[in-house]
Amino acid sequence: MTRIVEVATARLIRPLHTPFVTALRRTDHVLSVAVRVTDADGVAGYGEAPQIWRVTGESMPGIEECVHAPLAGALLGRELTDDQAAEVHRWLAGAVAANTGARAATEIAVLDLLARRAERSLAATLGATATELGCDLTIAAQVDDPSAELLAPGFTTAKVKVGLDPADVARVIRIQEQSGEGTRIRIDANQAWDVATTVAAVEAWQAAGVGVDLIEQPLPFWDLAGHAELRRRISVPVMLDESVFSVHDLERAIDAEAADLVNIKLAKCGGVHAALDIARLARKAELGVMVGSMMESELGLAAAAALSAVVAPQETHDLDAAWWSIDPDDTGSPYRDGRFVISPTAGLSRAVERIEGSLGPWRVTTA
Ligand SMILES: [Mg+2]
């Protein structure tokens, strides 16, 4: 049993070594808010909430206000036992609507705190035994330099961002040819296409002998009927991302027969235990599950990796976001041979040590 006495935030800003471009946005920095929750014994846990205007609608100032007002109000002074870990996300969801990234970061900070008290990794406290995970690497949309369209050494699955350029269909064929036969291709249109465009693209790839593992969110988030129509017309599995924030969104998608797989992201659903609920429903409906993330640092990715290790340890997840802000020669990187390695240290402590230099000053709210 312990008591939460302090909630704090700091801006977490890191430059990318390569600009990240999708049909929704272009960015050359990680722009996040780190959340720190401290108990009466002085043990602290950490989480990360990314600024993602075009998906969650969250901004750094909005995340900060949310954490310091309603979320701090829901936590400060609380007596906390280990077996309440699964309840924390409900306390936070009861304090504020939406703000899923702020809630996720705050829940994860509490889970990190509890894991550190238990001297176990976050993944271990969730029951995971996997120590590393398969990971794809994103190839950004609209890359002008063809050499930037090759996978970095070790990676074998490319997630190609499309949707900005009519030449995308040919570009995917070129990427497959350049990358060699062992490379697996996933496509993510980030809502930019319509049914006809998607069907034509898939037919062109199949005619060219390009094997596409899955196509992610080709249509706008609200268009479940369109995704269902696509599933009837193409043989490539359809994965929903922006359409599914909550377990209720997934229920609707299942009812509409709109998905073969779902991409679960902590910043969309509000935290680890909300994500586990989504994964449980997906499995019951025989949908595939992949864990992804927003553009985040190693802190957010360490939490996403812990979730991946619980829900689908054998899957190749979408955990490459932090790769974009880590020097390729950094020997402490969690990315090794195209896999994400989970640190066995307590909680998320290893990731926090590695991003501390990217944090601004802490703003503190106490009980
Ligand atoms: Mg996506």
Output the average pLDDT for the chain: 95
Mean pLDDT of the 329-348 span: 96
| pLDDT tens-place string over residues 350-366 | 999 999 999 999 999 99
d(CA 214, ligand 1 centre) in Å = 12
Band (143; pLDDT cuts 50, 70, 90): low
DSSP states of 238-303 as a string?
A: EEESTT-SSHHHHHHHHHTT--SEEEEEHHHHTSHHHHHHHHHHHHHTT-EEEEE--S--HHHHHH
Residue whose tokens read 């040819």: 177
- pLDDT of amino acid 140: 87
Residue whose tokens read 């690497």: 137
Tokens of 33: 């808010």
Mean pLDDT of the 271-297 span: 98
- pLDDT of amino acid 342: 98
Domains of the chain with CATH codes? 2-120+352-366 (3.30.390.10), 132-347 (3.20.20.120)
d(CA 208, ligand 1 centre) in Å = 24
Say how many C-beta atoms besides its own lie within 10 A of residue 212's C-beta: 20
Mean pLDDT of the 175-194 span: 92
Decide if pLDDT at 147 tops 80.
no
pTM exceeds 0.95:
yes
- pLDDT of amino acid 245: 98
d(CA 217, ligand 1 centre) in Å = 6
In the chain, what are the helix, strand and coil shares in percent, each to the nearest 5? 40, 25, 35
d(CA 361, ligand 1 centre) in Å = 32
Tokens of 54: 């075009």
d(CA 184, ligand 1 centre) in Å = 17
| Listed range (34-43, 150-159, 250-259) with the worst mean pLDDT | 150-159
d(CA 293, ligand 1 centre) in Å = 9
| pLDDT tens-place string over residues 77-117 | 999 998 889 999 999 999 999 999 999 999 999 999 999 99
Q: Which residues surround ligand 1, an ion (CB under 5 A)?
A: 188, 216, 241
- pLDDT of amino acid 167: 86
Decide if pLDDT at 145 tops 80.
no
90, 135, 66, 117: which is closest to 272 by C-alpha? 90
d(CA 79, ligand 1 centre) in Å = 38
Decide if pLDDT at 148 tops 70.
no
Phi, psi for 291 (deg, rounded to 5): -105, 135
d(CA 191, ligand 1 centre) in Å = 9
d(CA 84, ligand 1 centre) in Å = 32
d(CA 238, ligand 1 centre) in Å = 12
- The runs of H, that is alpha helices, within the chain are 60-66, 72-75, 88-93, 100-117, 122-125, 168-179, 195-207, 224-233, 247-255, 266-269, 272-284, 298-311, 349-355
Catalytic residue annotation? 161, 265
| pLDDT tens-place string over residues 287-326 | 999 999 999 999 999 999 999 999 999 999 999 999 999 9
| pLDDT tens-place string over residues 160-175 | 999 988 889 999 999 9
- pLDDT of amino acid 181: 78
Rounded Cα distance between 355 and 340, Å, is 17
d(CA 127, ligand 1 centre) in Å = 27
Rounded Cα distance between 22 and 142, Å, is 8
Band (224; pLDDT cuts 50, 70, 90): very high
Rounded Cα distance between 275 and 134, Å, is 19
Mean pLDDT of the 256-272 span: 98
- pLDDT of amino acid 207: 96
Rounded Cα distance between 36 and 33, Å, is 10
d(CA 139, ligand 1 centre) in Å = 12
Band (11; pLDDT cuts 50, 70, 90): very high
